[in-house]
């Protein structure tokens, strides 16, 4: 085998390896995270290292710590199921009762310790015209 | 009246483009040049109709004709004139017409410049061009018509106005610049296909397609960098790149186009790699359309995305046709595109370009895989799997570092073959410089990070390799005593090559900025006026929070003293604001909070402050501070990339 063929071969093996690796990223939770629904999670008794969950903030469940304004706990609900979430950090602008949120973090003992908290904002600029008069 | 003209013009464009198809068909059947000419004129007339309807929409936006749904939705009487203009591409319907407008500009210049010289490409160029046009004209006529009137039972007293987040200069200008890059890649697509189908790949063709590629590349790069600049300065999450699907969609075609610019050089010099180049040139536009499909169909949610209308299936069909058409002709012309010449050695300039190509494509594929993975996995077994920034960072950092080294190795290689002794001789300088900087890192840094270590070696290796090349050509040119004169003369001696090197230096500077990300630190905290907090060698003291009603928003103004704790001196006074737009609206859902940042920016680091929220009852402000080292190098590098590619682009036009 001459040098060119050997190099080509090495390159192909490397690429094949890389592609094989990419098809298996699902198992590597440092790269990916699975999305759970609240009802799915409510049935889940095992701990999960990394999750992402979407739902709505249960009214009157937001509890901000007196000692540290950045410490908060609340429940996220979907239909009749709900899960408790704790979070440390600044809350997004639209964080309030019934706001739609996406929470990422870990799940243990029926509690989500969130590392990331996002509110979904309703797009204000698409859709209805505001200053109109009916005729 | 004007809006009717615009509406008629866009329908007329539809008629004209159909007539172009008819005459192309007649030409194919009877082979009479007159038919081809009529088809050409139909395409030109289509373009002029699109221009007309574009200017009609512009006019309606400027005079605030709120009888049009689009105008009422994106502007108001209060919107400044500049943003009335930029509202052209703020929404779905307008941006699609804008897309057609740029396509038309490209079509006209392609017909009048390139096709004047490469006559053999005319027929197939017109076929593909007409197809692309008809797709966008159908969208503008039937799916998202910007001239759609508001429903007849209402009178609009004032429009909604442009989203305040979008009322930023860089936000306003980065989409059109990106669009120029996106639509311009259609010309590259057309040229690659037309030349292969008509079996007319000539030297002039290679030169011409390379010129187009450089032009398109410049705009793509500028658009991507400006988008990052806007995100960093306006969006307030402290970064310029988040691996959002929309960002990925602009990066993927950039990568394939970058690969094409390099590998087409091999075709220009040695007539090789025709098949590979065909694939790169066509996939760039295909990736543009894939990206548009991803972002406009709503299949992947993203902060940037427009609300989904029925565009998804349309774009999907368009995309599928483009792909099938390309694949069909690729296999049909496989033997024509075959080149007998093979690469002799991998330690040659061609070999270097090939490695560069493989790495770029691998990166593109990795990004595409990550972007599409959520859809693919949900389709596969119903599980929604999110691919976060960690995927893109972890996988692309090593690939990027390989690329960084390749940029340094490339210039050291000769065409055809580089002998070992020459290679060793040329490696001396970059090798010793990078060796020393690696040692320097080990001695002076107090923590070891492998990627930072490799990146520092890579940056110094590549920088010294390129500067060494510059010095060599400088020595050859040096005859006058004036230093500056010799430098300019050296740069002008081979603009193509030197322009490329300038781009590479720009990319190396980007990498310096990327290294900074490894050292970013941030802290979130709450403070009442008068309190202070220590973080990362600085003391942040909140002096006051005041409030103020302004023209279109209500603002809470904070004032933070930043004291350097090692010297105990006041460094800067930061004034981030918390704003509430539409605060007068009785419906709290319609009010829009926004954090206006304040950044203390130096060449070493940025102190980035965000006023995230204010609790008026307790008089507590919530803040986030980030210390972002070396960010400015990203912008400097970006500017240099654009300058370098313009430098390479301009002269080649004059030479021809």
Determine the pLDDT at residue B656.
41
Q: Is residue A72 located within the same domain as residue A103?
A: yes
Residue B607 covered by a domain: yes
Q: Is residue A22 located within the same domain as residue A63?
A: no
Q: Which among A32, A70, A105 is the top mutation candidate for probing chain B, defined by the most B β-carbons within 10 Å of its own β-carbon?
A: A32
Q: Is residue A21 located within the same domain as residue A69?
A: no
Q: Is residue B572 located within the same domain as residue B612?
A: yes
Q: Is residue A115 located within the same domain as residue A55?
A: yes
Segment B381-408 shows an average pLDDT of: 90
Q: Is residue A70 located within the same domain as residue A37?
A: yes
Are A30 and B390 within 8 A, CB to CB?
A: yes
Residues B331 and B348: their CA atoms lie apart, in Å, by 30
Q: Is residue B550 located within the same domain as residue B504?
A: no
Segment B378-385 shows an average pLDDT of: 82
Percent of chain B, pLDDT > 90? 66
Q: Is residue B358 located within the same domain as residue B437?
A: no
Q: Is residue B43 located within the same domain as residue B33?
A: yes
Residue of A nearest to B306 (CA): A126
Residue B402 covered by a domain: no
Determine the pLDDT at residue B623.
94
Q: Is residue B613 located within the same domain as residue B646?
A: no
Residue A125 covered by a domain: no
Confidence of residue B309 (pLDDT cuts 50, 70, 90): low
Q: Is residue A23 located within the same domain as residue A40?
A: no
Residue B284 covered by a domain: yes
Segment B54-65 shows an average pLDDT of: 96
Residues B305 and B290: their CA atoms lie apart, in Å, by 14
Do residues A63 and A81 lie in contact, with contact meaning Cβ atoms separated by under 8 Å? no
* CA B567, B570, B572, B578 torsion-angle sign: positive
Are B525 and A70 within 8 A, CB to CB?
A: yes
Task: Identify the residue with better confidence: A3 or B158.
Answer: B158
Determine the pLDDT at residue A123.
45
Domain that includes residue B100, residue range: 1-149
Do residues B622 and A90 lie in contact, with contact meaning Cβ atoms separated by under 8 Å? yes
Confidence of residue A122 (pLDDT cuts 50, 70, 90): very low
Q: Is residue B133 located within the same domain as residue B184?
A: no
Residue B357 covered by a domain: yes
Residues B213 and A72: their CA atoms lie apart, in Å, by 53
Residue B256 covered by a domain: yes
Residue in B266, B253, B109 with CA at minimum distance from that of residue B191: B109
**Which region among A111-115, B483-487, B640-644 has the lowest average model confidence (pLDDT)?**
B483-487
Q: How many domains does chain B have?
A: 4
* CA B281, B283, B287, B288 torsion-angle sign: positive
Segment B461-488 shows an average pLDDT of: 83
Q: Is residue B548 located within the same domain as residue B649?
A: no
Determine the pLDDT at residue B300.
61
Q: Is the pLDDT of residue B299 over 70?
A: no
Backbone torsions φ then ψ of B621, nearest 5 degrees:
-100, 145
Are A4 and B343 within 8 A, CB to CB?
A: yes
Confidence of residue A90 (pLDDT cuts 50, 70, 90): confident
Determine the pLDDT at residue B290.
94
Q: Is residue B471 located within the same domain as residue B324?
A: no
Residue A128 covered by a domain: no
Three-class DSSP category at B597: coil
Predicted ipTM beyond 0.90? no
Confidence of residue A45 (pLDDT cuts 50, 70, 90): confident
Q: What average pLDDT does the structure give for chain B?
A: 90
The packing angle between helices B450-477 and B389-409, to 10°, is: 30
Do residues B609 and B598 lie in contact, with contact meaning Cβ atoms separated by under 8 Å? yes
Residue A129 covered by a domain: no
Q: Is the pLDDT of residue B93 over 80?
A: yes
Determine the pLDDT at residue B655.
47
Task: Identify the residue with better confidence: B281 or B386.
Answer: B281
CA atoms within 13 A on the CB side of B539: 13
Are A7 and B369 within 8 A, CB to CB?
A: no
Q: Is the pLDDT of residue B646 over 50?
A: yes
Domain that includes residue A19, residue range: 1-32
Q: Name the domain boundary from B88, B116, B149.
A: B149
Residue B512 covered by a domain: yes
Segment B242-269 shows an average pLDDT of: 93
Do residues B138 and B99 lie in contact, with contact meaning Cβ atoms separated by under 8 Å? no
Segment B473-489 shows an average pLDDT of: 76
Structure tokens at B485: 């004169």
Q: Round the CA-based radius of gyration of chain A to a whole number and report it.
A: 23
Determine the pLDDT at residue B271.
84
Return residues 593-652 of B near A (CB < 8 Å).
Answer: 593, 612-613, 615, 618, 620, 622-624
Residue in B225, B220, B208, B211 with CA at minimum distance from that of residue B183: B220
Model pLDDT for residues B590-615, shown as the tens digit of each residue: 777 888 899 999 999 999 999 988 98
Q: Is residue A39 located within the same domain as residue A79?
A: yes
**Which CATH number covers residue A89?**
2.40.50.140
Q: How many domains does chain A have?
A: 2
Q: Is residue A62 located within the same domain as residue A92?
A: yes
Q: Is residue A16 located within the same domain as residue A47?
A: no
Put simply, whether A134 touches B (Cβ < 8 Å) is yes
Q: Is residue A43 located within the same domain as residue A102?
A: yes
Q: Is residue A72 located within the same domain as residue A14?
A: no
Q: Is residue B512 located within the same domain as residue B534?
A: no
Residue A65 covered by a domain: yes
Residue in B491, B490, B409 with CA at minimum distance from that of residue B457: B409
Q: Is residue A22 located within the same domain as residue A44?
A: no
Determine the pLDDT at residue B530.
94
Return residues 379-418 of B near A (CB < 8 Å).
Answer: 383-388, 390-391, 394-395
Q: Is residue B531 located within the same domain as residue B514?
A: no
Q: Is residue B508 located within the same domain as residue B527?
A: no
Q: Which among B373, B380, B419, B621 is the top mutation candidate for probing chain A, defined by the most A β-carbons within 10 Å of its own β-carbon?
A: B373
Residue B382 covered by a domain: no
Q: Is residue B259 located within the same domain as residue B357?
A: yes
Residue B392 covered by a domain: no
Strands (E), B150-235: 154-158
Q: Is the pLDDT of residue B480 over 70?
A: no
Put simply, whether A20 touches B (Cβ < 8 Å) is no
Residue A132 covered by a domain: no
């Amino acid at each position: 085998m001459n040098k060119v063929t050997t190099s080509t071969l090495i390159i192909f093996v490397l690429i094949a390896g890389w592609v094989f690796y990419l098809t298996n990223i699902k198992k590597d939770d440092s790269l990916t995270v699975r999305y759970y629904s609240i009802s799915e999670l409510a049935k889940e008794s095992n701990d999960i290292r990394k999750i992402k969950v979407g739902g709505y903030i249960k009214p009157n469940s937001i509890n901000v710590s007196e000692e540290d304004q950045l410490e908060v706990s609340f429940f996220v609900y979907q239909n009749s199921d709900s899960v408790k979430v704790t979070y440390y950090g600044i809350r997004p602008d639209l964080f309030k009762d019934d706001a739609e949120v996406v929470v990422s973090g870990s799940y243990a003992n029926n509690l989500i310790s969130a590392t990331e908290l996002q509110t979904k904002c309703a797009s204000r600029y698409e859709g209805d015209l505001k200053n109109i008069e009916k005729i | 009246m004007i809006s009717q003209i615009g509406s008629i013009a866009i329908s007329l464009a539809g008629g004209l483009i159909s007539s172009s198809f008819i005459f192309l068909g007649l030409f194919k059947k009877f082979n009479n040049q007159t038919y081809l000419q009529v088809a050409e004129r139909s395409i030109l007339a289509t373009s002029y109709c699109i221009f007309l309807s574009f200017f009609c929409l512009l006019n309606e936006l400027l005079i605030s004709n709120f009888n049009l749904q689009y105008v009422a939705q994106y502007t108001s009487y209060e919107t400044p004139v500049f943003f009335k203009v930029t509202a052209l591409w703020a929404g779905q319907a307008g941006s699609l017409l804008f897309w057609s407008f740029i396509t038309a500009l490209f079509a006209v210049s392609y017909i009048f410049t390139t096709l004047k010289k490469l006559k053999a490409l005319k027929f197939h160029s017109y076929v593909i061009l007409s197809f692309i046009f008809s797709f966008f004209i159908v969208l503008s006529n039937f799916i998202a018509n910007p001239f759609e009137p508001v429903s007849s039972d209402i009178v609009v007293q004032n429009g909604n106005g442009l989203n305040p987040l979008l009322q930023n200069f860089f936000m306003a200008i980065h989409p059109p610049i990106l669009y120029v890059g996106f639509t311009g890649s259609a010309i590259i697509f057309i040229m690659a296909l037309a030349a292969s189908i008509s079996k007319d790949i000539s030297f002039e063709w290679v030169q011409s397609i390379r010129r187009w590629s450089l032009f398109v590349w410049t705009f793509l790069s500028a658009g991507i960098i400006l988008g990052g600049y806007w995100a960093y300065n306006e969006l307030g999450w402290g970064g310029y790149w988040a691996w959002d699907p929309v960002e990925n969609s602009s990066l993927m075609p950039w990568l394939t186009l970058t690969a094409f610019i390099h590998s087409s050089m091999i075709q220009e010099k040695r007539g090789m790699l025709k098949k590979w180049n065909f694939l790169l040139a066509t996939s760039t536009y295909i990736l543009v359309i894939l990206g548009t499909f991803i972002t406009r169909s709503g299949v992947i949610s993203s902060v940037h995305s427009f609300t989904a209308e029925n565009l998804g299936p349309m774009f999907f069909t368009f995309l599928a046709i483009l792909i099938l058409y390309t694949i069909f002709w690729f296999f049909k012309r496989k033997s024509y595109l075959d080149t007998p010449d093979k690469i002799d050695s991998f330690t040659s300039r061609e070999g270097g370009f090939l490695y560069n190509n493989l790495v770029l494509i691998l990166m593109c594929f990795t990004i595409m895989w990550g972007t599409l993975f959520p859809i693919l996995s949900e389709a596969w077994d119903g599980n929604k799997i999110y691919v976060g920034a960690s995927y893109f960072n972890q996988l692309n950092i090593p690939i990027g570092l390989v690329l960084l080294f390749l940029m340094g190795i490339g210039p050291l290689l000769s065409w055809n073959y580089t002998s070992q002794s020459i290679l060793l001789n040329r490696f001396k300088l970059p090798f010793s410089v990078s060796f020393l900087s690696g040692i320097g890192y080990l001695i002076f840094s107090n923590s070891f990070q492998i990627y930072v270590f490799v990146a520092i070696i890579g940056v110094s290796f590549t920088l010294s390799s390129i500067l060494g090349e510059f010095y060599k050509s400088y020595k050859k040119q040096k005859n006058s005593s004036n230093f500056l004169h010799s430098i300019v003369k050296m740069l002008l001696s081979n603009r193509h090559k030197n322009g490329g090197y300038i781009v590479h230096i720009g990319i190396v500077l980007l990498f310096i900025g990327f290294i900074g990300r490894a050292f970013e630190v941030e802290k979130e905290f709450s403070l009442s006026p008068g309190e202070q907090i220590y973080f990362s060698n600085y003391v942040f003291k909140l002096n006051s929070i005041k409030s103020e009603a302004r023209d279109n928003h209500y603002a809470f103004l904070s004032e933070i003293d930043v004291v350097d704790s090692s010297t105990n001196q006041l460094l800067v006074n930061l004034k981030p604001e918390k704003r509430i737009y539409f605060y007068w609206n009785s419906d709290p859902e319609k009010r829009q909070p926004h954090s206006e940042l304040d950044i203390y920016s130096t060449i070493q680091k940025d102190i980035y402050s965000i006023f995230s929220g204010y609790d008026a009852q307790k008089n507590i402000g919530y803040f986030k501070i980030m210390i972002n080292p070396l960010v400015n190098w990203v912008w400097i590098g970006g500017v240099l990339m654009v300058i370098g590619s313009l430098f390479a682009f301009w002269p080649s036009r004059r030479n021809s």
